[in-house]
């Protein structure tokens, strides 16, 4: 357990974070400077992708008629997050995910097909902005996630909404066709997916027996056999996973009573799970890792005053440090975290007033309380790319320059 002795909405004092008998002294990170949120067109708000030039694609779905499958998958595009085109209907289905390559081509993937026989379908957008007709990716249904490497190769992973459905994956080489489906587990759920610019990939999930498992490999497919990284913990929400170019990873999940995290070395060795906190709320811990192997975990804890947010840091090859309180004690959690290869980390949470607040931690910077109000919540996505952080919140898309 941990205790923070003092918190104010101030950025100039020292926080004392106490874990057991150790005391960690940290000073606050700098305040962020976020743009005014810009609302994208309606219907494009469930999945956000950003590339290094600042171009963005949003994918969503909306009901267009009666019946279970009467939903259209819609996409919107922007060169800067301010001026948007769309929505454009690219198929029929629900739960779309989207990824955007450095050259501007994009891939959207979703659960489609008839209600009696759902499947997974996808469409590719050329750099010129033309979306292809939907193609069948797999007859194994599920709600997909998708990530890309630095060359524009994509990997998707999916499972159903129940733990009795398979965990599956398929890959798409830039300019090529989808690979055959690889079933990683016959039954599982609460999946996470991460890819590195160098082409590594990792899929995480909760097995049907309640174990936390992960499979590592290439974005182009052929992931290794899964390994169990956590015991029978019964993850309640999607596992959160982050991966760097060397193959180091951090993987977090929430159980009914605690937030947990493990890390993977570049050599493929997983640590014993660390309990970050008790009294978890929301989706659990969020995590990010840089190319040096330094990682952070951000999480919210249920307390009598509210659900404040804490951040813990782990240096490469080290142990998780004392959690530092970064929010007000009466804030509402809803934590998200992101980072870039150079070591900039960004954490967001919901304030007591329902706004999204962001804390930016520059490379080598300390972690301290208080952030910058980004805009009205809720928080839906946070992406950090070289030079910028992008947040999708209730008020729209907001950006911050980072280093």
Encode pLDDT of 309-354 as tens digits.
Answer: 999 999 999 999 999 999 999 999 999 999 999 999 999 999 999 9
pLDDT of residue 18: 28
DSSP 287: E
Is 364 exposed, middle or buried (CB count within 10 Å of its CB: 0-12, 13-18, 19+)?
exposed
Identify the weakest region by mean pLDDT among 105-109, 153-157, 227-231, 316-320: 227-231
Model confidence band, residue 234 (pLDDT cutoffs 50, 70, 90): low
Identify the weakest region by mean pLDDT among 118-122, 208-212, 321-325, 385-389: 208-212
How many whole angstroms separate alpha carbon 379 and alpha carbon 373? 12
pLDDT of residue 69: 63
More confident residue, 106 or 45: 106
Encoded tokens for 22: 């150790």
pLDDT of residue 290: 98
pLDDT of residue 210: 86
Span between the terminal Cα atoms of the chain, in Å: 34
Mean pLDDT, to the nearest integer, of 153-169?
A: 88
pLDDT of residue 15: 30
Mean pLDDT, to the nearest integer, of 138-154?
A: 97
Sign of the alpha-carbon dihedral angle for 302, 307, 308, 314: positive
Across the chain, what does the average pLDDT equal? 89
Q: Confirm if 108 and 72 have CB atoms less than 8 A apart.
A: no
Tell whether the model's pLDDT for residue 16 goes beyond 60: no
Cα distances (Å, whole numbers) of residue 90 to 44, 121, 169: 12, 11, 22
pLDDT of residue 13: 26
pLDDT of residue 28: 45
pLDDT of residue 4: 31
* Cβ neighbours, 10 Å, residue 22: 9
pLDDT of residue 19: 33
pLDDT of residue 235: 63
Identify the weakest region by mean pLDDT among 6-10, 236-240, 302-306: 6-10
How many whole angstroms separate alpha carbon 355 and alpha carbon 363? 26
């Amino acid at each position: 357990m941990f205790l923070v002795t003092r918190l104010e909405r101030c950025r100039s004092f020292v926080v004392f974070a106490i874990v057991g008998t150790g005391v960690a002294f940290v000073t606050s990170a700098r305040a962020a400077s976020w743009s005014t949120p810009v609302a994208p067109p309606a219907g494009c708000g469930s999945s956000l992708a950003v590339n290094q030039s600042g171009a963005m694609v949003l994918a969503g779905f909306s009901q267009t008629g009666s019946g279970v499958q009467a939903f259209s998958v819609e996409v919107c595009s922007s060169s800067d997050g301010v001026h948007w085109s769309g929505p454009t209907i690219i198929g029929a289905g629900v739960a779309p995910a989207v990824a955007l390559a450095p050259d501007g081509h994009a891939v959207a993937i979703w659960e489609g097909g008839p209600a009696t026989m759902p499947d997974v379908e996808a469409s590719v957008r050329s750099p010129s902005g033309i979306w292809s007709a939907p193609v069948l990716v797999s007859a194994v249904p599920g709600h997909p996630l998708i990530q890309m490497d630095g060359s524009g190769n994509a990997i998707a992973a999916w499972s159903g909404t129940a733990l009795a459905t398979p965990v599956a994956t398929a890959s798409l080489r830039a300019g090529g066709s989808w690979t055959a489906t690889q079933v990683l587990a016959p039954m599982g759920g609460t999946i996470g997916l991460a890819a590195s610019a160098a082409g590594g990939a990792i899929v995480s999930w909760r097995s049907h027996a309640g174990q936390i498992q992960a499979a590592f490999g290439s974005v182009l497919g052929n992931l290794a056999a899964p390994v169990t990284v956590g015991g029978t913990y019964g993850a309640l929400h999607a596992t959160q996973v982050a991966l760097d170019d060397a193959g180091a990873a951090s993987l977090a999940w929430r159980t009914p009573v605690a937030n947990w995290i493990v890390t993977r070395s570049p050599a493929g060795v997983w640590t014993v799970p660390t309990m970050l906190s008790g009294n978890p709320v929301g989706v659990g811990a969020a995590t990010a890792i840089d190319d040096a192997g330094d990682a952070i975990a951000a999480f919210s804890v249920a307390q009598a005053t509210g659900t404040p947010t804490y951040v813990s840091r782990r240096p490469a090859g080290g142990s998780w440090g004392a959690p530092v309180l970064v929010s007000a004690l009466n804030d509402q959690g809803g934590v998200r975290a992101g980072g870039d290869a150079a070591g900039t980390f960004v954490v967001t949470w919901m304030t007591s007033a329902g706004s999204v607040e962001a804390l930016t931690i520059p490379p080598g910077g300390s972690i301290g309380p208080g952030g910058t109000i980004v805009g009205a919540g809720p928080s839906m996505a946070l992406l950090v790319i070289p030079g910028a952080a992008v947040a999708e919140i209730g008020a729209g898309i907001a950006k911050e320059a980072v280093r």
